[in-house]
Amino acid sequence: MSRPDLRAEPLRRRLPRLVGLTLVLVGLVCGPTAGAAPKPFGLPFAEPAGPATWYIAQPFGNSVYAWYERATLYDSAQGMHMGLDLAAPCGTPVRAIGDGVILSVDGRGGALPHNLMIDHNNGFVSFYGHLRDRAPVSVGQYVRRGDLVAYSGDMYGTCVDSPHLHLELRDPTLGRFFNPVTLIDADWDSLMLFGSAPLAFERDLDAPRRWQSLDDQPELRLGGNLLNDYAQPWPGGGR
Amino acid sequence: MSPRRLALLVTAAALSVGAAGAFSVGPSLELRIAELAARLVGTPTSPPATATSRPLPTAIAVAALGDLPVRQAEAGSAGAAFGRIRQLSFDGCCAAAWWAADSQALHVLDRPTGAAQTGIYALDLWPPGALPRMVDTRTDMIDSGTRLLVRPAGEYSIVKDVETGLEWPLPTDGNPVRLSPDGQRAVWWDAAGGRAQVDGLGRVYASGIDGRDPREIGALWGIDVIGFQPDGRHVLVLGRPMRDRPLYVLSRLDTDSGAMQELARGLWLSNVLLSPGGSWLAYTVSLDVDQPEANGVWVAPTTPGLAPPRRLEVHGAYRWRDDARLVYVPMLPGAGAHALVELDAAQFSSSLLFDPAELPIRIAGNDWSIAPDGSKLAFRSADDRNLWVVELPR
């Protein structure tokens, strides 16, 4: 493909592209990590992380728990955890991770008892699951990053068993799942400093280095083949 | 099975004893230190933190750390942190490393190249730059400290005596089994439908190491078996007395009589870690909105009544260095380098192992461990995903 001649275009058409190019260059020069695109989203909680507020409970992707539940809970997303679980007390205010428009309230997507989707008009839809109540927003409503959009809950609706927010990032077709860690601007390695052991990833003994980090996980597709039905899993056992 | 229990299962591999070593400066070290140092945040000016019911804002928590004494380098050492760190892997290897029993190598589950065999490889501390060395092609879970291997096999766990080759199946439903330090007893718990951790009544069973005399010795909601105490008779168990409240009780269970003695309790009590000699416990209480002052990392003696549990002022990740010293890394997002703090459990006094400005490490994914002899700390770097080892001040 040949490069377009910008000089041949009228300024009103060139301006957005020039501004975009300038922003990209500025970002490259002044950004926190040269060469890395800025992450477009923020965290879904306003409170700082900690044992009283929230912490990472299950990573996206190739978690050991997902491997155990690959044919049950997670079979629709290639056997892997399609979101990021953040443990939080029931009733913790959930914030929009970016500007956008409410796409659904208690729509499809599971993560009962209540869920919410926001279309960010940038190629991503955020999904908030296991909410305590029906989200106090309306479909079509515009929200800004940081706005209160829901309250976290528990997957069993009890607030006793496993209170957490299940957070997903999908494409606009809702058929692809992305690792939120790669798209949310946060100090993830510091946020992982919790407790007596790291969160565990399942191993494929044929490729034991693959998908072993919070930020190194595969993109998932709704209804795709299982990615973690390993011939030689480690740890093994169970179902 | 919950992620928490599975995490414990996966990390139950690396415990043992050995001798210490020394370090020299690696060729890429100064560049790396300079890169890391450039990312450190400025000196905090906020007042020191006190015990509080709310999570500490980063600046205040950093200030609290700033008030801690910094351990001095021993006489005869390089006198600076730069001489105490070594890079052990150079190609992004590997997550979840564990220490060799003699503290002279890290073990990893790896396949270094496509042509190599998957197995347990050793990354030796000496000589510097040594290539990974194959240790074993078996990837069974190893219950170190004994001659016994344990591997899950469907509804059973197989205990194997590596000296005699004898094997015994235990009906563990695929759950991890804990072996007594003397290799005489086994304990496991029934998954009760696979979700004992959250909604099942879990029953604990004990037997001889060869499966003889299996018997139920206790039951709690959402039960987890932490492990044996050094006496080989008592196990530490965590579970909920009531189905409808996430109040977890940590108890000492007699495998002979089934008698249970409470050691600690708290909402969502988790991440229980027993000190190597069995004298102390560290654990985390979380998500308690009614008693917010209860949330955090706690340290308690395993002897009931010896001393009350005490809470650290800063929460974070922790590992035992020896039977009386806990090393913790405060969770301070945005603070730049990760600080290594040591707690003397008996005195309940903390000190910084290094000045973070002098040794600004960042740990990836809470992936770090302390050598069995307590002399070194290994971590996976957040900057290059390689394994590094730091020599700890005595």
CATH number of domain containing A199: 2.70.70.10
Q: Does B40 touch chain A (CB under 8 A)?
A: no
Shortest distance between the Cα of A214 and any Cα of chain B, in A, equals: 7
Are A206 and A165 in the same domain?
yes
Specify the pLDDT at position B267.
95
3-state secondary structure of A76: helix
Residue of A nearest to B385 (CA): A213
The verdict on a CB contact (< 8 Å) between B175 and A51 is no
Residues in B closer than 8 angstroms to A153, CB to CB, are: none
| A186 interface with B at CB cutoff 8 Å | yes
Asked if A230 contacts A210 with a C-beta cutoff of 8 angstroms, the reply is: no
Closest CA to A58 of A168, A134, A158, A203: A168
Q: Is residue A223 domain-shared with residue A151, that is, in the same domain?
A: yes
> Would you tell me how many other CB atoms lie within 10 Å of the CB of residue B331?
29
- Does the CB of A234 have a partner CB in chain B at under 8 Å? yes
Q: Same structural domain for residues A82 and A145?
A: yes
Question: Domain check: are A9 and A70 in the same one?
Answer: no
From chain B, the residues in CB contact with A187 under 8 A are: 333-334
Same domain, A188 and A227: yes
Tokens of B158: 């197989």
CA distance B232 to A106: 52
Does an H or E element contain B32, and which?
A: helix B29-37
Both A27 and A145 in one domain: the answer is: no
User: Which residue, among B286, B319, B369, B370, would best test binding to A if mutated, counting the most A CBs under 10 Å from its CB?
Assistant: B286
Kindly state whether residue A152 falls inside one of the protein's structural domains.
yes
Give the one of A63, A156, A186 whose C-beta lies nearest to B333's C-beta: A186
Q: Where are the alpha helices (DSSP H) in chain B?
A: 3-10, 29-37, 58-66, 196-199
Chain B residues whose beta carbon lies within 8 Å of the beta carbon of residue A193: 316-317, 329-331, 338, 363, 366
Query: CA A74 to CA A68: how far, in whole Å?
Result: 9
Partners of A49 on chain B (C-beta within 8 Å) are 55, 331, 333
B370: helix, coil or strand? strand
Q: What is the pLDDT of residue B160?
A: 86
Assess if residue A50 is contained within a domain. no
Contacts of A214 in chain B (CB under 8 A): 364-365
CB < 8 Å to B6, chain A: 64-65, 68, 200, 235
Do A215 and A187 sit in the same domain of this protein? yes
Which carries the bigger pLDDT value, residue B199 or residue A12?
B199
CA atoms of A164 and A217, how far apart (whole Å): 21
Asked whether residue A196 is domain-assigned, the answer is yes
Task: Indicate whether A46 belongs to any domain.
Answer: no
Amino acid at A145: R
- On whether any CB of chain B is under 8 Å from the CB of A7, the answer is no
**Mutation target among A74, A209, A215 for the B interface, most CBs of B within 10 A:** A209
Instruction: State ipTM.
Output: 0.85
- B3–A212 CB contact, under 8 Å: no
Is B152 close to A63, i.e. CB distance below 8 A? no
- Does the beta-carbon distance from B199 to A156 stay under 8 Å? yes
Q: What is the 3-state secondary structure (H, E, C) of A174-221?
A: CCEEECHHHCECCCHHHHCCCECCCCCECEECCCCCCCCECCECCCEE
Q: Hey, is the C-beta of B256 within 8 angstroms of any chain A C-beta?
A: no
Task: Name B164's Cβ contacts closer than 8 Å, sequence gap at least 6.
Answer: none
CB-nearest to B7 from A53, A200, A234 is A200
> Using CA atoms, how far apart are residues A37 and A44, in angstroms rounded to an integer?
20
Interface size between A and B, measured as CB pairs under 8 A: 197
Provide, as residue numbers in chain A, all residues whose Cβ is less than 8 Å from the Cβ of B118: 205-206, 208, 232
Residue A123 counted as domain residue: yes
Tens digit of each residue's pLDDT (9 = 90 or more) over A65-118: 999 899 999 999 999 999 999 999 999 999 999 999 999 999 988 899 999 999
* Interface contact B57, partner A, CB < 8 A: yes
3-state secondary structure of B107: strand
Name the domain count of chain A: 2
Chain A nearest-CA distance from B235, in A, is 18
Query: In this complex, do A193 and B317 lie within 8 Å of one another by their Cβ atoms?
Result: yes
Half-sphere exposure of A54 (CA within 13 A, CB side): 25
Contact between A187 and B282 using a beta-carbon 8 Å cutoff: no
Chain B contact present for A36, CB below 8 A: no
Interface-testing mutation among B5, B8, B9, B10, with chain A (most A C-beta atoms within 10 A): B10
What's the confidence (pLDDT) of residue B304? Answer: 80
The fraction of chain A above a pLDDT of 70, given in percent, is 84
Report the distance separating Cα A153 and Cα B160, nearest Å: 44
Domain match, A111 and A203 both: yes
**In chain A, which among 72-111 make CB contacts under 8 A with chain B?**
85, 87-89
Q: What is the pLDDT of residue A126?
A: 98
Tokens of B295: 């949330």
CA distance A180 to A182: 5
- Are residues A198 and A105 both part of a single domain? yes
B385 Rama class: left (phi>0) / alpha (psi -120 to 50) / beta: left
The 8-class DSSP code of residue A75 comes to G
How long, in residues, is chain B?
394
Contact by Cβ (8 Å): A226, A78? yes
Q: Bigger pLDDT: B85 or A24?
A: B85
- The CA-atom distances, in angstroms, between B37 and each of B32, B40, B41, B207, B292 are 8, 5, 9, 54, 35
User: Which element (helix H / strand E) includes A67?
Assistant: helix A64-68
What's the pTM? 0.82
Do residue A214 and residue A102 come from a single domain? Answer: yes
Q: Can you give the residue range of the structural domain that contains A15?
A: 1-38
Residues A97 and A194 placed together within one structural domain of the fold = yes
| Residues A166 and A229 reside in one and the same domain | yes
Q: Is residue B227 within 8 Å of B178, Cβ to Cβ?
A: yes
State yes or no: pLDDT of A31 exceeds 70.
no
Q: Which two tokens stand for residue A237?
A: 């056992």
Q: What is the pLDDT of residue B146?
A: 62
Q: Examine residue A43 and state whether it is found in any structural domain, yes or no.
A: no
Binary contact (B272, A196; C-beta < 8 A): yes
CB-based contact A161 B111, cutoff 8 Å: no
At B328, list the tokens. 């913790």
In a domain, A47, yes or no: no
Asked if B53's CB is within 8 angstroms of A194's CB, the reply is no
| Per-residue pLDDT in tens (0 to 9) along chain B, 394 residues | 333 333 333 333 222 222 222 232 222 322 232 232 333 332 222 222 222 223 334 444 555 566 677 766 554 443 344 358 999 999 999 999 999 989 999 999 999 988 999 999 999 998 888 889 998 877 665 544 567 888 878 788 888 887 888 999 988 877 778 999 888 999 998 755 444 445 578 889 999 998 888 899 999 888 888 989 989 999 999 998 888 888 999 999 999 999 999 999 999 999 999 999 999 999 999 999 999 999 999 999 998 888 899 999 999 999 999 999 999 999 999 988 999 999 999 999 999 998 888 889 999 999 999 999 999 999 999 999 999 999 999 8
| C-alpha span between B141 and A203 (Å, rounded) | 13
| Residue A49 belongs to a domain | no
Q: Taking the CA atoms of chain B, what radius of gyration do you get in angstroms?
A: 22
> Which residues from chain B sit within 8 angstroms of residue A213, using beta carbons?
95, 364-365, 385
Q: Please give the residue of chain B at the shortest CA–CA distance from A158.
A: B244
Per the CB < 8 A criterion, the answer to whether B310 and B299 are in contact is yes
